[in-house]
Amino acid sequence: MKILFIGDIVGKGGRETVKKVLPDVREEYSPDLVIANAENLSHGNGVTPDHIEEMQKAGIDFFTSGHHIWGNKNGVLMLDDPDFPVLRPANYPSPDTPGRGFQIIEDGMGNRLLIINIQGQVFIKDHVDSPFKIIDEILEATEDENLSGIFVDFHAEATSEKTTLGLYLDGRVSAVVGTHTHVATADARIFENGTAYLTDAGMVGAYDSSIGVKTDLILKKFLTQMPTKHEPETEGKMVFGSVLIELDEKTKKALDIKQIIKIT
């Protein structure tokens, strides 16, 4: 089974880049499933049903997110719909939080992939439960499922937290890929016990920008320390950050991991 995971898609520029680049990537690498992080999909803050549908038509099968998923009420209202293909981080502490943090989906060959969306605690303001504890509970709850693989999107700031969770899960899940920083890291590898790992997949958004946001706005914020509304950059060169992971469906271990980064 081959999984293509796309990093944080940022606003209109990111969506247009997905529509431009993804068809060629799908043709070249023939992934069985395409997953993307969508927390910044709609103007950099949350999702809308229309934008999710737009990305599905472009070739994305399922979506993870992060703490910005709450930024658009139209998307939040859809999170409890079991047919809405978007996860929110699993470790929000209240059972009343909309949505779900994990789901099993199938590819066209009947392979069953468990997707887990989890959020870090370090340097992120939301007071979520321990990702280590919650992911243990999810793995225990799904241990009797006939799975072909387990994919984890760890939405976190600190590289140390991401790496530690990856090592903690080595041999227990198929892949751990980080999101949130919008900057692709150069440490794609397979751990000793068969788990593919990458600290951050990067983003789909403006290449010459402040992680997808108009640079002048962020520069003003750094110079003045005044609150600044983020505005996604839609002009100029765009980057498509993603990673391709190949799994052995019988062992659920990773066979290969390859970063795919396109500048357009």
Confirm whether 101 is domain-assigned.
yes
pLDDT by residue (tens digit) across 137-177?
999 999 999 999 999 999 999 999 999 999 999 999 999 99
Whole-angstrom Cα distance, residue 64 to residue 224?
34
Total of domains in the chain = 1
Question: Which of 51, 67, 68, 180 is labelled catalytic?
Answer: 68
Task: Categorize the per-residue pLDDT at 229 as very low, low, confident or very high, splitting at 50, 70 and 90.
Answer: confident
Tell me, what CATH number does 158's domain have? 3.60.21.10
Instruction: Show the domain range for 132.
Output: 2-206+233-263
Within a domain: residue 219?
no
Element (H, E) at 219: helix 215-224
Please give the model's pTM, rounded to 2 decimal places. 0.97
Q: How far apart are CA 128 and CA 42, in angstroms?
A: 24
Q: What is the pLDDT of residue 57?
A: 98
Q: Average pLDDT over the chain, rounded to whole?
A: 97
Distance CA 107, CA 99 (A): 22
- 107 located within any domain: yes
Query: What's the pLDDT tens digit per position in 70-114?
Result: 999 999 999 999 999 999 999 999 999 999 999 999 999 999 999
The pLDDT tens digits of the residues spanning 49-67 come to 999 999 999 999 999 999 9
Answer yes or no: 68 catalytic.
Answer: yes
How many other C-beta atoms lie within 10 A of the C-beta of residue 155? Answer: 30
213 located within any domain: no
Position 212 in a domain: no
Q: Do the strands 33-37 and 2-6 form a parallel or antiparallel pair, or are they unpaired? A: parallel
* 220 found inside a domain: no
Q: Is residue 162 part of a domain?
A: yes
Structure tokens belonging to residue 187:
């440490």
Query: What is the DSSP track for 11-39?
Result: HHHHHHHHHHHHHHHHHHH--SEEEEE-T
Res 10 pLDDT > 90: yes
